[in-house]
Structure 1
Amino acid sequence: MTQTATAPTTLDSPPPSAAAAPRIVARIRDDAEALAVARRLAEDFAQESALRDRERKLPWDELDRYVRSGLWGITVPKQYGGAGVSYGTLAEVIATISSGDGSIGQIPQNHFYAVELIRVNGSESQKRFFFERVLQGDRFGNALAELGTKTSHDRKTSLARDTAGPGYRINGRKFYATGALYADWVPTSVIDEAGVQQLAIVPRHAPGLTIIDDWSGFGQRTTGSGSAVFENVHVPADAVIGFASAFTRPTQIGPMAQIQHAAIDLGIARAAYRDLLEFVRTRSRPWIDSGVERAGDDPLTIREVGDLTIQLHAAEALLQRAGRLVDAAAAEPSEASVAEASIAVAEARVLTTEVSLAAGSKLFELAGSQSTLAEHNLDRHWRNARTHTLHDPVRWKYHAIGNYYLNGKNPPRHGAL
């Protein structure tokens, strides 16, 4: 994709990429339509998911169809022209797409996160501008995390007043910038001159912004989760939104971000489970001591499939429950409602983490040696699960859940729970 340098964009005009090639985007009307569209797309994306992973073929065409379907605009509130779907529906849409291709399922996670931050902390003019851009097909990426800091939540990228004119300048380097490679806008976490974290929404083609496709993880290979470098990048004042304040008061931002991660893992688990069943039914041979003709009739295999099915359904149920509680927290945010939603999402993340890893491993155990052949590329499911579930440690979910129920301690409010 050709990159061109252009003048800084203000909130009065779309980014250069959108202005040059406007997308024709469908408008999703409600939750039911969103789920139906997601199911159709997931079937399509599944067809060449193994090939894209094997060759690290970036899904430009697939993302274009995904955006044109209208699904990237489903969280825009109804009063701004969107479907305003529930958080449970959003989670199921992401899980469904991830079951077709785990990498594609992850790419818009930070897009929805940015839309939510605008919804919670944006000014009225920011909401009107950015929500309309989203409905027209603009994609948000992300430039949040950094390497080389003390913790994964520390930031060094700076936001300083532009000494030559209005607005600000950004300098710094980001990594794990999922979606930035494909984006029209790159929401960027920055530290202002008072030491407060803000979110600056930068046009993808802003002079001084370089997106580097250097993601080399063994899983989620086509997410484009590489580097973003900011060298004196200009951003207008009206493209800066409060970030820290979304966590110093109770809001649904944290659990909303985390339920998407749980949904991605659930989708990866569904894909591995689906391929396990298909391989055992059509290719695997029964163990000689089983005394049966078909691998699918092996009683020990049947038992293991039953156990994995229960784990998968339990994870699905917890994700649905978490969605309802995030909806409740958004409707009436309070210390208690946000804590309850955060814990419910943490519970879902525990099971979706465990079942995604279990499904990716059990696939080989039950399908047998043939399933390890490179031509099938079935190891992508485990690689995807292992890579994505490292986003934040599940061991701390157990701690937060136990401390909440045993000691009445609310979890911390940040995006990593």
Structure 2
Amino acid sequence: MTVQPAKAIAAFPVPKPRDKHAHVIRTDSEAIEIAHDVAAILAEGAAERDRERKLPYAEMDLLSDRGLLAITVPKEFGGAGVATGTLAEVIAIISAADGSIGQIPQNHFFMLEGLRLQGSPEQKQFFYKAVLAGERLGNALSEIGTKTAQDHATRITRDGDGFRLNGRKFYSTGALFAHWIAVIANNDDGKSTLAIVPRETEGITIIDDWSGFGQRTTGSGTTILDNVAVHPFSVVPFHLLFETPSSMGPHAQIMHAAVDQGIARGAFTEAVRFVRQYTRPWKESGLEHGYEDPHIISDIGEVKIRLDAADALLGRAARFVDEATANPTAETVAAASIAVASAKVAATEVSLLAGSKLIELGGSRSTLAEFNLDRYWRNARTHTVHDPVRWKYRVIGNYWLNGINPPRHGAI
């Protein structure tokens, strides 16, 4: 793509303001309470949205309007500044109702954390105010065709007083529903840079071409950046987030774990309901009801034990992340990363188990399209391949056996 001549950028371009202001959540307990209220609404249409791939524009507005997408805004900027455990629990609650919607805000919160760590006071004031009003940040991070998922061919180059973005992104979760697009690109020095640009900026094209068999309504398709003008105010040195110890990596990963944990909770709840309502006993059992089958009872018990264990690991990991946030050293960040990796392993395995057992224990009737119960396993399998659990086992083992800290990046 050819870079056009420089154009003066007189003022920071902002999107049109929302026609209504969001509720501002003030406490952790209020965040949990509202998450449960919103989840009850989301659950009602989750099966239909997945089956017909209805993108959740109205549902994302609901999350914004109720204040759930601003809960990590620090208290000094008017937000609740909730604990990591509260953030993880909110994501899990929403994901239990609808795994796709639970994933959409992940990179929104990821970018808010990046601003907290590397944003200027003026950037924090501006973007936190926008988020408190109900505006959302979408993701244009990963690409297809690079050597690894962490490599970027997208470039941000100097253009007079500003910059220009050129590139092509995929897995753009949340971009379709966003007011701002957060783009990762390499600058003229080859350094990873974050640019947060208004969704309506000329040159941004978002294509709804996500075809994954799970997480079908996340809108995780293509974002094309064709000579997009970038005001200097919107640029953040992303590479600095991982050059020194910070909570950025474990903060990102605990949200992944929370999505999987929520999907597992939803699948387990549905399994109990379906078995009690529909499952018939095997003819040789001599039982009156499927829920009296000792094998089914045993399997339900196993899933619940693993679910509770994963919940405990998620809560434990959140405490480690809070410690690393308050006191970011090589030791606290490594400990947080390992604790979160353990939680992610447990959540991955129980989400796949619960989704599979839901179908197995439900019997043939559970495979009918009218119930769409396979969405739990499809969502879990799709989301859990974001980063391989097999590498987490290795990193955890190396930490405890050989005292080797994990690498600092967003994928551990």
Structure 1 and Structure 2 fold alike (TM over 0.5) = yes
Change (3 A) 1:36 1:388: same
Q: Cα offset for 1:289?
A: 2.4
Contact 1:139–1:182 (CA under 8 A) maintained in structure 2: yes
Deviations 1:211-270 (A, max 9, x none): 100000000000000000000000011110011110010000000000000000011111
Deviations 1:15-50 (A, max 9, x none): 13xx2x333200101000000000111111000100
Match of 2:239 in 1: 244
Pair 1:301 & 2:307 matched: no
Among 291, 305, 308, the alignment partner of 1:310 is 305
Q: For residues 72-111 of structure 1, what are the structure 2 equivalents within 5 Å?
A: 72-111=69-108
TM-score normalised per structure 1: 0.96
1:315 and 1:23 map into 2 onto residues whose CA distance is: 39
Contact 1:252–1:338 (CA under 8 A) maintained in structure 2: yes
Q: For residues 107-146 of structure 1, what are the structure 2 equivalents within 5 Å?
A: 107-146=104-143
Higher mean Cα deviation, 282-291 or 187-196?
A: 282-291
Among 151, 155, 179, the alignment partner of 1:154 is 151
Deviations 1:76-97 (A, max 9, x none): 0000000000011000000000
Match of 2:210 in 1: 215
Among 173, 177, 197, the alignment partner of 2:172 is 177
Pair 1:292 & 2:287 matched: yes
2:69 and 2:377 map into 1 onto residues whose CA distance is: 27
Q: What secondary structure does 2:156 align onto?
A: strand
Contact 1:14–1:133 (CA under 8 A) maintained in structure 2: no
Q: For residues 16-415 of structure 1, what are the structure 2 equivalents within 5 Å?
A: 16=16, 19=17, 21-162=18-159, 165-415=160-410
Contact 1:178–1:224 (CA under 8 A) maintained in structure 2: yes
Q: Cα offset for 1:108?
A: 0.5
Q: Cα offset for 1:9?
A: 8.6
Contact 1:290–1:299 (CA under 8 A) maintained in structure 2: no
Change (3 A) 1:68 1:280: same
TM-score normalised per structure 2: 0.97
Change (3 A) 1:10 1:337: farther
Deviations 1:189-232 (A, max 9, x none): 01000000010111111000001000000000000000000000
Q: What secondary structure does 1:26 align onto?
A: coil
Match of 2:4 in 1: none
Change (3 A) 1:10 1:108: farther
2:8 and 2:236 map into 1 onto residues whose CA distance is: 17
1:50 and 1:153 map into 2 onto residues whose CA distance is: 33
- Structure 2 counterpart of 1:70, which letter? G
- Structure 2 counterpart of 1:94, which letter? I
Match of 1:3 in 2: none
Q: What secondary structure does 1:170 align onto?
A: strand
Match of 1:4 in 2: none
1:8 and 1:308 map into 2 onto residues whose CA distance is: 60
Moved over 3 A (4+): 7-14
Deviations 1:306-326 (A, max 9, x none): 000000000000000000000
Q: Cα offset for 1:364?
A: 1.2
Contact 2:47–2:371 (CA under 8 A) maintained in structure 1: yes
Deviations 1:168-193 (A, max 9, x none): 00000000000011100011001000
Q: What secondary structure does 2:218 align onto?
A: coil
2:337 and 2:286 map into 1 onto residues whose CA distance is: 49
Q: Cα offset for 1:392?
A: 0.3
Q: Cα offset for 1:143?
A: 0.3
Contact 2:170–2:222 (CA under 8 A) maintained in structure 1: yes
Q: What secondary structure does 1:186 align onto?
A: strand
Q: Cα offset for 1:339?
A: 0.3
Q: What secondary structure does 1:141 align onto?
A: strand
Q: For residues 3-18 of structure 1, what are the structure 2 equivalents within 5 Å?
A: 14-16=14-16
Gapped regions of structure 2 (runs ≥ 5):
1-6
- Structure 2 counterpart of 1:15, which letter? P
1:127 and 1:64 map into 2 onto residues whose CA distance is: 22
Q: What secondary structure does 1:234 align onto?
A: strand
Gapped regions of structure 1 (runs ≥ 5):
1-6
1:23 and 1:135 map into 2 onto residues whose CA distance is: 11
Supply the RMSD in Å over aligned alpha carbons. 1.3
Q: Cα offset for 1:10?
A: 7.9
- Structure 1 counterpart of 2:312, which letter? A
Q: What secondary structure does 2:332 align onto?
A: helix
Contact 2:8–2:162 (CA under 8 A) maintained in structure 1: no
Aligned length: 406
Contact 1:8–1:234 (CA under 8 A) maintained in structure 2: no
